[in-house]
Amino acid sequence: MIRLLHNKLVAGEITAVDLAKQYLKTIKEKDGEFGAYLTVLEKQALEEAVIVDERLKRGETIDLLAGIPGAIKDNILMEGIRATSASKILDNYIAPYDATVIAKLKAVHTVMLGKTNMDEFALGSSTENSAYQVTKNPYDLTRVPGGTSGGSAAAVAGSEAVWALGSDTGGSIRQPAAFCGVVGLKPTYGRVSRYGLMAGASSLDQIGPIAQTVEDVAIVFSRIAGYDPHDATSADSGHGKKYEDYLGGDVRGKKIGIPKEYFSSDLDPKIRVLCDQALEYFKSLGIEVREISLPHSSFALPAYYIIQPCEVSSNFARYDGIRYGLSINDEKSSVEEKSTLLETYLDTRRHGFGPEVKRRIMLGTYSLSSGYYDAYYLKAQKVRALLKQDFEKAFEEVDFIFSPTTPEPAFKIGEKTTDPLKMYLGDIYTITANLTGVPALSFPIGTVSEDGKELPIGGQLQGRWFDEETLLCVADAFEKEYERCHSV
Ligand code: GLN
C-alpha cells in the first residue's frame, strides 16, 4: 500500500495534502466510534504534507515513506506534543524532545496524524486500561482491539492511518495486530532505539511498526531501525539496511519449527485448523516444516509476570509528583493545606495511577524485596536464561518458530477486566520473544466466525536475533501465497 501511494504521489496523481486530508476526514468520521486516537495533529500533519508537495513540485526525489500518513502510540515522545501514555498522571505532560524514532521519521518527511490510545503505560492486553477511552475493534465494535497498542492497530485496520508505531514488551504490537487483522513486528531487542519511549520494562521493551502488509511493515521498520548513541542497549549493526529490498528473495529450503509445547490439546481447534492451513502454504513455498521442542515454555509466563513487574516498579518510581505530570501538591492552594513530600508522593500516585499500574508496582516491589528476591526475581532470571538456551538450540535446527499469535480471537469488551490472571494468560505465545530478545512478526492467517462476525487470527513467526530480513521475506512470501489461494 505504501509503495502504491508513493508511486501516485510521484506521478502527481494525488498530492500529499489531499492524502493527509483524506485520512483526517476518515478520523473525523470514524474515530468517535473506534476511539483509536487520543490526540489528532491536524495542523502538523498538513504542514508536513505541504513540504512533501513542495519537494515534489521542485522535482526532488522523496523517500518511500514521505507524505504517507501514520499514527504514533502515545508512549512515544514527539516534541511539543502531549504524551500521556493513557495515564492521568501524565495528563498535562508535553514531551520536551523527539524520540529517536520520531526524529528519524521526521527526517524522511512522513506525515504523523496523531497519538494513539493504549493501555495505561503499556500494561494490559486490551486497551481497556486506558484512563481516557475504550478503543473498539473495527471488525466488531463489541470487541477489544487487543493491547497495549490497540489504538495503533485499530487506526490501521479502520483506515485511519496507513501505518502506525506501537511498542511491545510482551506482545503489545503483535497481539493487537492479530486481533485487528493487520501485520505487526516486534524487532530484535536493541534493533530500534528506545530513546524517547516511556520506559515500561526496559529489558523487554521495543518499538515496532504495524501496517496492512508485510512490505509496509518492512518499509517503516527500515526507517526507524539502527544504532543510537542515546540508547545504551541499541545494537551497532545493520546500518542503513532497507528491509523492503529483501522481500521477494528465495525462501525455498528454509525450515520452520513447530514447538510441540505450543500445540497442546488446549489450543482452540478453530485456530489449530488455521495454523495447519498456514503450514501447508509454507510447504507449498518449498519451506520445510518440522516439530521441535522448547522444553521450558511453560515457565515463560510466570517468569515474565515477575520480571516485567519488577522492572516496572523500579522504572515507575520517577512518577513522583515532582518531576513530571500530575502533582497533587500543586493543586493545593493555601499554605496550611500544603502536603509533606511523602504525602505528595502518595497522593499523586494514588490519584494518578490506574488499578493495573498499581497491581504491577505492588507485584514488582514484593518480588524485589529482601527475602523474596532470590525466590522470585533471581529464579525468574534463571528461567529467562533457560528459555534463551531453548531458542539457541532450536535455531541450530530451524530458521523460524511458528505458532498462533494468541490462543483466541479478539474477546468482548469487559470480558476479562475483572480477572487479571485471565488477561495475562492470553500473552502465552508472545512473551517469550521479549524474554529471549528475538524478532517476532504477527500476520493474518485467516478468520474464525463468532456470533456471525468474521474475526481475524494471527500467526506468529519468531526468527533468529537480528535476522529481520529473512523473517520479513518469508512472511511476505506467505502473504502472497495466501492471497493467491484466496483470490481464486
Ligand atoms: N500484555 C502484556 C502485559 O500486560 C504485554 C504488554 C506490552 O507488551 N506492553 O504486560
Return the CATH fold of 2-246.
Amidase signature (AS) enzymes (3.90.1300)
Question: What is the Å distance from ligand 1's center to 326 Cα?
Answer: 24
Residue closest to 34 by CA, chosen among 82, 71, 78 = 71
Closest atom of ligand 1 to CA, residue 201: 9
Which residue type, as a one-letter code, is found at position 333? S
**Beta bridge pairs of residue 448:** 455
For ligand 1, atom 10, name the residue with the nearest CA.
123
Q: Please check the confidence at residue 334 and state whether its pLDDT lies above 70.
A: no
Question: What is the Å distance from ligand 1's center to 430 Cα?
Answer: 9
pLDDT given for residue 330 in this prediction? 61
pTM of the model: 0.96
Domains of the chain by residue range: 2-246
Judged by average pLDDT, the poorest of 87-101, 171-185, 231-245, 467-481 is: 231-245
Closest atom of ligand 1 to CA, residue 122: 9
Which residue type, as a one-letter code, is found at position 7? N
Question: What is the Å distance from ligand 1's center to 260 Cα?
Answer: 24
Tens of pLDDT, residue by residue over 387-439, are 999 999 999 999 999 999 999 999 999 999 999 999 999 999 999 999 999 99
DSSP conformation class of 192: B
Closest atom of ligand 1 to CA, residue 426: 1
Q: Please check the confidence at residue 245 and state whether its pLDDT lies above 70.
A: yes
Question: What is the Å distance from ligand 1's center to 22 Cα?
Answer: 33
Q: Please check the confidence at residue 337 and state whether its pLDDT lies above 80.
A: no
Question: What is the Å distance from ligand 1's center to 393 Cα?
Answer: 26
pLDDT given for residue 237 in this prediction? 84
Q: Is 4 exposed, middle or buried (0-12, 13-18, 19+ CB in 10 A)?
A: exposed
The angle subtended at Cα 367 by Cα 366 and Cα 369, nearest 5°, is 65
Report the Cα 61 to chain-centroid distance in Å: 31
Q: Please check the confidence at residue 335 and state whether its pLDDT lies above 70.
A: no
Q: What is the dihedral of CA 190, 192, 198, 204, to 10 degrees?
A: -40
Pocket of ligand 1 (CB under 6 A): 122-125, 148, 168-172, 200, 308, 427
Judged by average pLDDT, the poorest of 73-77, 149-153, 264-268, 287-291 is: 264-268
Tens of pLDDT, residue by residue over 36-46, are 999 999 999 99
Mean pLDDT of the chain: 95
Which residue type, as a one-letter code, is found at position 200? G
Of the residues 172, 313, 358, 359, which should be mutated to test ligand 1's pocket, given the most ligand atoms within 8 Å of the CB? Answer: 172
Closest atom of ligand 1 to CA, residue 304: 10
- The answer for residues whose C-beta is within 8 angstroms of residue 314's C-beta and 6 or more apart is 364, 368
**Beta bridge pairs of residue 400:** 256
Q: Please check the confidence at residue 466 and state whether its pLDDT lies above 60.
A: yes
Q: Please check the confidence at residue 488 and state whether its pLDDT lies above 80.
A: no
Find out whether 223 and 207 touch, Cβ atoms under 8 Å. no
